[in-house]
Amino acid sequence: MELGFMACGISKAEFLEEEAPRLEKWLSENRNGEMKYMENYFDKRLDPRILFEGCKSVISVLVNYFPSETQQDPEAPKLSKYAYGEDYHFVIKRKLNELLLFIQSEIGEVEGRIFVDSAPVMDKAWAKKSGLGWIGKNSNLITNKSGSFFFIGELMLDAELQYDTAIGDYCGTCTRCLDACPTGAIIQPYVVDGSKCISYFTIELKDAIPVPMKGQFDNWMFGCDICQEVCPWNRFSKPHTEAAFLPHPDLLEMTKQQWKNISKETFDILFKKSAVKRTKFKGLKRNIDFLE
């Protein structure tokens, strides 16, 4: 809590038996689109002991990113809330490094590896296994205390710890996320076709966005929050207190016209340390032009 994590859970490092057939089926049906990296390291993805020899425990942490303010112009192209501030990979890695140093100072010789969405690690599966929430029908991890606007990170250790247990699924009969998705990416409860997701088109896809998708993006230029925004559990989301996740002062004030005419210089200022750099200026411009 002192490091700024909103929750922490611990699982025994073992083969993810439940996830294996699901991942295999999802890949065989090409739900990953052009995200070919999802097909790599299949064994490592399902067993952390192959990824990190001697691994005995997986510590999962959650970091809140729900903002207190959002974009002001209702007609401006929309940016996913997770990308408002500094790239979460760096922020969470710094915190987990501090946690590892603390553990080593308390316990002694402990080997640890840190992962933040940067290796073949099924972070949602581990967070679920350690009781931090359940995986909802939109395939996001959800908690009944604070919704789903958070990042997940892992610290794997070669030490045995006390393990937590999974909790139940509280989606019930709700289908709001399925009903709200403009591109029909949630093809059935708990199954998302990544190749139909707005986030996929605006971030992962490097080529031109397919013409048939025109008019289906609900004005999202980078990422998409729709399936989270409609989720009833997100009424419990509270604004984060992480200074690194605060946006550049000008970001939320940008108008539709300003986004349309954005220059490379403005892009570099607004997104100096942001995850938006992943799509580069050219990619963001492509997305904005596609919305016209």
> Annotated catalytic sites, by residue?
117
For residues 247 and 235, what is the distance between their CA atoms, to the nearest angstrom?
22
CA 268 to chain centroid, in Å, comes to 23
CB 126 within 8 A of CB 7: no
From the list 108, 167, 92, the residue with the least C-alpha distance to 136 is 167
What's the token pair of residue 215? 């008019």
3-class secondary-structure state, position 59: strand
Q: What is the sign, positive or negative, of the torsion defined by CA atoms of 225, 226, 228, 234?
A: positive
CB 214 within 8 A of CB 162: no
For residues 264 and 277, what is the distance between their CA atoms, to the nearest angstrom?
11
Q: Show the DSSP H helices in 29-168 as ranges.
A: 42-46, 48-51, 88-107, 123-129
Question: CA 238 → CA 7, 127, 138, 147, distances in Å?
Answer: 14, 20, 20, 9
In the 8-state DSSP scheme, what is residue 147?
Answer: B
For residues 29 and 193, what is the distance between their CA atoms, to the nearest angstrom?
9
